[in-house]
Amino acid sequence: MADVIFGELEQLVKTQGVKKAIDHLVEQMIARKDYNKLFYTLLVKSRLELGLNVIPTAPSNDIPVDKQEKFEDNIRLSARNVAERFLKENNLEQAWNFYRMIGETEPIKAAIDAMEPKPEDEMEVPIRLAFYEGLNMPLGFDWILERYGLCNAITTLTSQDFSQMPAVREYCLQKLIRALYEE
């Protein structure tokens, strides 16, 4: 399959130019849902549009000052584009990687807050993002307590530094005390 794409790209470069070939590659990455490669393809496209070498051969701070801001904007747009695609497919982990890159936590936080997990749902990633990445620590702790039980919840609670988050600490302690009482 890679040979087919390479052949198509090679033909497009010869007949219609590099820009058309990169546009085709973007379409192919979207069609294949290969969003990680899509991100890098979008960066190549951005470099081409800005008149930069499409293959980075120097640090990004070597990009001319008059093009630096636009290139950085394009990085953010590309990351957001890819993150949104991953999020639409409920791939929170991959979406988080790209949103975190550009400092946007709200879309993942909103997705986590909207979750209504069923008992059979895999919760490792939502728990990690909610609790350990701090997107919604109380909800993450609820899930830890519900999914992994008291022992794990106690270990989790005692291994965290809540000095900057007294309200979260208080919430978790109350949940833990209630669970112990009900046990």
**pLDDT tens over the chain, length 183 residues:** 566 677 787 777 778 778 888 998 899 999 999 999 999 999 999 999 999 988 888 787 788 999 999 999 999 999 999 999 999 999 999 999 999 999 999 999 999 999 999 999 999 999 999 999 999 999 999 999 999 999 999 999 999 999 999 999 999 999 999 999 998
- Alpha helix ranges (H) inside 32-121: 35-49, 65-88, 92-101, 106-113
What are the structural domain ranges in the chain?
A: 1-104, 115-183
Q: What is the spatial distance between Cα 12 and Cα 34, in angstroms, rounded to a whole number? A: 21
Rounded to two decimals, the pTM is: 0.88
- For residue 132, give every residue at least 6 positions away whose Cβ sits within 8 Å of its Cβ, in sequence order, or none: 140
Q: What is the spatial distance between Cα 125 and Cα 145, in angstroms, rounded to a whole number? A: 15
Crossing angle of helices 35-49 and 18-31, rounded to 10°: 160
